[in-house]
A and B are shown apart, each in its own frame.
Chain A
Amino acid sequence: NAGVTQTPKFQVLKTGQSMTLQCAQDMNHEYMSWYRQDPGMGLRLIHYSVGAGITDQGEVPNGYNVSRSTTEDFPLRLLSAAPSQTSVYFCASSYLGNQPQHFGDGTRLSIL
């Protein structure tokens, strides 16, 4: 059982480049979410989804897009990377109805 898989683990981008962070889970979880973690600020919710075809904005959505075409996958897209998006990104999933969240190992993203 792989759980929540994030790729890549590390990435360096130049300002203005685009990229997609991948997140996949094999637990048939309805709820998936993306967070960014910056030093001293805990985790902040970027976008979340309660099921295939449904996405919504979290606390810090600007500069990021998401889609949920399948239950398993929830990619996060940076359309035009900015240095302020340098961070560690975590994907998480859970069943709906107040269930514990399971996190991927994170993607460390640096934007120069």
Chain B
Amino acid sequence: GIQVEQSPPDLILQEGANSTLRCNFSDSVNNLQWFHQNPWGQLINLFYIPSGTKQNGRLSATTVATERYSLLYISSSQTTDSGVYFCAVLNTGNQFYFGTGTSLTVIP
């Protein structure tokens, strides 16, 4: 299967700070998505981004498929951004592989 590595594993930020989360993957993929798991355990799709750059409010993501990595940017962080951020990739066989996540804590 595809290896998906996320860094850093843990991150603590002061409210208002910016951060960059990274996702590296070991093989070509058809699909890459970023998810936020909130403190109640719900998984929310943030971006579907197999390549290129997308922005949604304070969040943006960039995937460089040829170099097998993706970045998630969080600007002006808020306490509601706390939770775990997962990267997931889809191989040619329709199987999704998740990274182990980045746990983000934003303190006021």
Which of B30, B33, B100 is close to A41, meaning CB atoms less than 8 Å apart? B100
Number of B interface residues in the complex (CB < 8 A)? 24
Interchain CB contact under 8 A, B98 and A101? no
A interface residue count range (under 10 / 10 to 19 / 20 to 34 / 35 or more): 20 to 34
Of A12-20, A43-51, A64-72, the segment with at least 4 beta carbons within 8 Å of chain B is A43-51
Interchain CB contact under 8 A, B100 and A98? no
Classify the secondary structure of A's interface with B.
strand
Interchain CB contact under 8 A, B95 and A98? no
Which of A44, A50, A56 is close to B98, meaning CB atoms less than 8 Å apart? A44
A 21-36 contacts with B by CB, 8 A: 31, 33, 35
B 32-80 contacts with A by CB, 8 A: 33, 35, 41-45, 48, 50
Nearest chain A CB to B14 CB, angstrom units: 26
Which of A41, A48, A88 is close to B95, meaning CB atoms less than 8 Å apart? A48
* B residues whose Cβ falls under 8 Å from a Cβ of A: 1, 4, 30-31, 33, 35, 41-45, 48, 50, 86, 88, 90, 94-101
Interchain CB contact under 8 A, A102 and B48? no
Which of A42, A48, A56 is close to B86, meaning CB atoms less than 8 Å apart? A42
Contacts known (A98-B31, A100-B33); A45 close to B97, Cβ less than 8 A: yes
How far, in angstroms, from A56 to B1 measured CA to CA in the complex?
Answer: 15
How far, in angstroms, from A45 to B90 measured CA to CA in the complex?
Answer: 11
Interchain CB contact under 8 A, B98 and A90? no
Nearest chain A CB to B81 CB, angstrom units: 19
